[in-house]
Amino acid sequence: MKTSRACSGKIESLSRQLKGMKKIALAFSGGVDSTFLLACARQAGPEKLLAITVSSRFFTRKEKDLAEKLAGSMGVAHTCLDLDILGQDQVVQNTPRRCYFCKTKIFSLVRETAIKNGIDTFLHAVNTDDLGDYRPGLEAAKELGFLAPLVDAGFSKKEIRMCSREMGLETWDLPSQSCLATRIPYNDPITREKLEMVDQGESFLRELGFNSFRVRCHGNVARIEMDPGEISSLMDKNTSGIVSHGLKKIGFKYVSCDLDGYKTGNMNKF
């Protein structure tokens, strides 16, 4: 595997881990991290490799389609499971422990599917940057026996992107993904309507050419967090008018821009 000197040691560490696993199931979202891990696992040549995607109202159709496409392009067996996440009371209540309850359901499905396919090694693609944020879902993964080889090898998000680019993976510059529930403040119950407004709002901004942002749903208020480098474009008189009109048409009554910009984990400040 061709990689830069800076990551060569970590790649070797990751490869050693993966080569020691005969049958692997990976919780696969199709994002930067899980695609990189899947590509590395494939190169390790296990006896069996299965990518498992769990689709729910927190996961957009575009993300589901991309996961299917990526697994197919690598020639890796892939299965997609549907989860009625809005039927889970502990999740829709949206307490600060929401992610724990959600990941418990997701990883349980992945684990059960893996076992049915004769696989006893379960992986998820958390990286070292994730350890610095509030992520109770990591507890669920650990409790269910999931391994985190990217963390064990010391990979940061930046290093994963760099290695992905050198490996020719199309996801190397894919904007960071997170479930749609992260757009709704804790203790504000999650509904299908709110998720659809967020999904439609972010799709609209993406069509306008914006890349790194989030549309946070505060009742009837859309609070846009935008990468600082794109805020000036958003605040252009013509563009801001288009954005305001578009988001109000979706269902928001008020549209605002957070001048502090977008930063992963902003909604974890509670």
Q: What is the pLDDT of residue 264?
A: 79
SS3 label, residue 71: helix
Q: What is the pLDDT of residue 5?
A: 65
User: In the chain, which stretches have pLDDT less than 70?
Assistant: 1-6, 269-270
CA dihedral 123, 129, 135, 138 (to 10 degrees): 20
Q: What is the pLDDT of residue 265?
A: 73
Q: What is the DSSP letter of 21?
A: -
Domains of the chain: 5-173 (3.40.50.620), 180-268 (3.30.70)
Report whether 54 contacts 106 (CB < 8 A). yes
Q: What is the pLDDT of residue 6?
A: 65
Report whether 268 contacts 134 (CB < 8 A). yes
Q: What is the pLDDT of residue 42?
A: 98
Report whether 240 contacts 234 (CB < 8 A). yes
pTM of the model: 0.93
Burial class (CB in 10 A: 0-12, 13-18, 19+), 49: buried
What is the rounded CA–CA span in Å between residue 195 and residue 58? 7
Helix and strand numbers, DSSP H then E, in the chain: 11, 8
> What average pLDDT is seen over the chain?
95
What is the rounded CA–CA span in Å between residue 181 and residue 60? 11
What is the rounded CA–CA span in Å between residue 259 and residue 141? 35
Q: Show Cβ contacts of residue 35 under 8 Å, excluding neighbours closer than 6 positions.
A: 28, 70, 164, 169, 171
